[in-house]
């Protein structure tokens, strides 16, 4: 049985992430979705808590009719020190066979540790990006189209749009 690992921050989870998971699950029997920077929330870069992001991923994958028995979602806190990041991640997740990532540093760290890395085909990357979604929310442009409807609804139900706007007016506690 082949197990894949897919690492992301999912701030928020969008259609590009969904396409990536679809791609990986065609190649692997099971998938571990690692939610990075798990301890952070309420910042411009990381507006949502790990718990909220796990809820988003569940909603999106249910909506897309993915079989829950094929994946697990694991939050991974940042340690802030790249040299130990792979060891740290390995201690949080069950064994896997392939890491799927397009991120150059993540890819390099996995390869330096001797792990197998595969790239994911990009899916309209300029548009389907968490940064673009956060930008559209701040500009008052249409952001819902970039997300699975269930995720867009969830974000609104928890006041996530207003949270992103409040945070943008404030770059710090105090």
Least distance from its own copies to the Cβ atom of residue 121, Å? 18
Q: What gap in Å lies between CA 17 and CA 129, rounded to an integer?
A: 9
Choose one: 16-24, 131-139, 145-153, 161-169; the region binding its own copies (CB under 8 A): 161-169
Q: Kindly state whether residue 1 participates in binding its own copies, applying the rule CB under 8 A.
A: no
CA 111, 106, 148: angle at the middle one, nearest 5? 130
Q: Which of 27, 82, 131, 135 binds its own copies (CB under 8 A)?
A: 82
Shortest distance, position 75 Cβ to its own copies, whole Å: 5
Rounded Cα–Cα distance for residues 174 and 92 (Å): 34
Per-residue burial over 73-96, b = 16 or more CB atoms within 10 Å of its CB, e = otherwise:
bbbbeeeeeeeebbeebeeebeeb
Site string for its own copies, 41-80 (x = CB under 8 A): xxx-----xxxx-xx--x---------xx--xxxx-xxx-
* Candidate ranges 17-25, 31-39, 116-124, 143-151; the one touching its own copies (CB under 8 A): 31-39
CA distances to 51, 86, 102, 161 from 122, in Å: 27, 24, 9, 26
Pairing state between β 30-35 and 71-75: parallel
Binding to its own copies by residue 137, rule CB under 8 A? no
Binding site for its own copies (CB under 8 A): 7-9, 36-43, 49-52, 54-55, 58, 68-69, 72-75, 77-79, 81-88, 90-95, 101, 103-109, 163, 166-167, 169-170, 172-174
């Amino acid at each position: 049985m082949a197990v894949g690992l897919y690492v992301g921050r999912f701030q928020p989870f969008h259609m590009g992430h969904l396409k990536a998971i679809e791609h990986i699950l065609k190649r692997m029997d099971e998938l571990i979705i690692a939610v990075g920077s798990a301890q952070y929330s309420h910042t411009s870069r990381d507006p949502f808590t790990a718990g909220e992001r796990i809820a988003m991923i569940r909603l999106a994958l249910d909506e897309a009719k993915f079989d829950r028995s094929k994946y697990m979602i694991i939050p991974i806190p940042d340690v802030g020190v790249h040299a130990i990041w792979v060891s740290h991640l390995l201690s949080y997740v069950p064994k896997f066979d392939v890491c799927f990532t397009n991120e150059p540093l993540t890819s390099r760290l996995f390869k330096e540790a001797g792990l197998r890395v595969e790239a994911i085909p990009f899916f309209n990357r300029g548009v389907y990006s968490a940064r673009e979604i956060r930008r559209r929310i701040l500009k008052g442009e249409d952001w819902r189209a970039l997300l699975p409807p269930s995720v867009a609804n969830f974000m609104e139900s928890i006041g996530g749009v207003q949270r992103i706007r409040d945070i943008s007016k404030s770059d710090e506690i105090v």
